């Protein structure tokens, strides 16, 4: 079967977004500042932070990295957050997750001043999203929506199915789609006939963390498929939650893994940092 789906290239879209931000920050007398707190030595977290810092450089955002050892206590991290909350040169604070075992990441994330919460994970920002009030929106769903709108600018009346209901992704994604006038169904591990439900979706968003779970025959012909999952296979290669090889023959448009949603997450972190700077 020949490939029919348009590949939604997150690398190109995110590069464009970073360029737009760079143009705006270049015109500012003081660039926005992003403080990144990295605790411990999780290799994946180090890679993510390095990528975020690279993106800051491209976007004209000043990055300030704070590294703490694995032995750092909750109190030490809390003190650092409190200091950054009142530091006027810092517009955004990012606490890189996951934290080493034994640290209460939920409690620490909620200590971040909502105006500097560039991950959009504090309760006030989540509340604003649900209430339809402008605030800081979590980066991965924000980036996913941009990719959807690249290929379908008007989502009115479309049926969107989001697989996954995490606070980090599934719930905010559903809210963003709802705000775009889509009819939204959120699926999760207790959903019955998941395949049948997915088949009714004009927009299918998978954020589960199970390699290639969404099969080609779960997808409605011509649907937009957004694959949020990042899974590492035994051979070291990355793959998404969607079986790309099957899906590309049925979907109308699809994001690849890697190179789809991932780069958008980082670009939207820059969007949020600029927004936090402009809102103060
Ligand atoms: P999570 O907190 O583990 O949530 C996973 C969700 O999937 C849960 O709601 C769970 O349902 C649901 N689920 C699990 N098994 C299922 C099944 N068999 N059928 C249907 N639903 C099922 O994960 P997350 O933080 O949302 O992340 C999900 C994926 O996205 C991961 O692969 C993660 O690495 C990736 N991710 C990527 C980016 C990026 O920048 N590209 C950013 C964030 C996350 P229950 O609620 O019922 O348990």
In the block, residue with structure tokens 């390095």: 50
User: How much distance in Å is there from the Cα of 273 to the middle of ligand 1?
Assistant: 25
pLDDT digits (tens, 9 = 90+) for 13-43: 999 999 999 999 999 999 999 999 999 999 9
To the nearest whole percent, how much of the chain has pLDDT over 70?
A: 99
Which CATH architecture describes the domain 138-262?
A: 3-Layer(aba) Sandwich (3.40)
pLDDT digits (tens, 9 = 90+) for 70-88: 999 999 999 999 999 999 9
Ligand 1, from 207, 226, 264: best to mutate by most atoms within 8 Å of Cβ?
207
pLDDT band at 3 (very low <50, low <70, confident <90, very high): low
Count helices and strands (H / E) in the chain.
10, 11
Q: How many CA atoms lie within 13 A of 73 on its CB side?
A: 3
CATH 1.20.950.20 is right for the domain spanning 30-113: no
Of 259, 246, 224, the C-alpha closest to 11 is 259
* CA dist 105 → 179, 227, 269 (Å): 29, 26, 19
Average pLDDT over residues 237-257: 97
pLDDT band at 280 (very low <50, low <70, confident <90, very high): confident
Q: What integer pLDDT is reported at residue 141 of this predicted model?
A: 98
Q: What integer pLDDT is reported at residue 2 of this predicted model?
A: 65
| pLDDT for residue 68 is more than 60 | yes
Average pLDDT over residues 129-157: 98
Determine whether 96 is an active site residue: yes
**6 DSSP β-pair partners:** 253
- Indicate the burial class of 273 (C-beta count within 10 angstroms; 0-12, 13-18, 19 or more): buried
| pLDDT for residue 1 is more than 80 | no
* CA dist 260 → 9, 13, 202, 240, 251 (Å): 6, 9, 19, 10, 15
Across the chain, mean pLDDT equals: 97
Extents of the domains making up the chain: 30-113, 138-262
Query: The whole model's pTM is what?
Result: 0.97
pLDDT band at 100 (very low <50, low <70, confident <90, very high): very high
Determine whether 110 is an active site residue: no
Q: Is 172 in the pocket of ligand 1 (CB under 6 A)?
A: no
Q: Do domains 30-113 and 138-262 have the same CATH topology?
A: yes
The residues near 227 (Cβ < 8 Å, ≥ 6 apart) are 206, 214, 240, 241, 242, 244, 254, 255, 256, 257, 260, 261
pLDDT digits (tens, 9 = 90+) for 254-273: 999 999 999 999 999 999 99
Catalytic option among 117, 119, 227, 243: 119
In the block, residue with structure tokens 């011509």: 222
Question: What is the radius of gyration, based on Cα positions, of the chain?
Answer: 19
């Amino acid at each position: 079967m020949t490939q029919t789906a348009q590949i939604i290239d997150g690398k190109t879209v995110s590069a464009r977004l970073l360029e737009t931000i760079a143009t705006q920050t270049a015109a500012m007398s003081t660039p926005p500042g992003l403080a990144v707190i990295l605790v411990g030595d999780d290799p994946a977290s180090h890679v993510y932070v390095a990528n975020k810092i690279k993106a800051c450089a491209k976007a004209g955002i000043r990055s300030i990295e704070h590294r703490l050892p694995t032995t750092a206590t909750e109190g030490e991290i809390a003190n650092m957050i409190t200091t950054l909350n009142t530091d006027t040169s810092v517009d955004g604070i990012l606490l890189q997750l996951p934290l080493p075992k034994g640290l209460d990441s939920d409690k620490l994330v909620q200590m971040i001043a909502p105006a500097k919460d560039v991950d959009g994970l504090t309760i006030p920002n989540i509340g604003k999203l649900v209430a339809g009030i402008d605030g800081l929106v979590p980066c991965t769903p924000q980036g996913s929506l941009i990719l959807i709108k690249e290929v379908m600018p008007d989502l009115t009346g479309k049926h969107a199915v989001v697989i996954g209901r995490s606070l980090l992704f599934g719930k905010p994604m559903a809210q963003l789609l709802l705000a775009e006038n889509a009819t939204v169904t959120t699926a999760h591990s207790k959903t019955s006939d998941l395949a049948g439900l997915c088949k009714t979706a004009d927009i299918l968003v998978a954020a589960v963390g199970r390699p290639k779970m969404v099969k080609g025959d779960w997808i409605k012909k011509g649907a937009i498929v957004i694959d949020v999952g990042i899974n590492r296979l035994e051979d070291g290669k990355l793959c998404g939650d969607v079986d790309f090889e099957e899906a590309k023959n049925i979907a109308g448009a699809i994001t690849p893994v890697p190179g789809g949603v991932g780069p958008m997450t980082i670009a939207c972190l820059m969007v949020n940092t600029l927004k936090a700077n402009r809102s103060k």
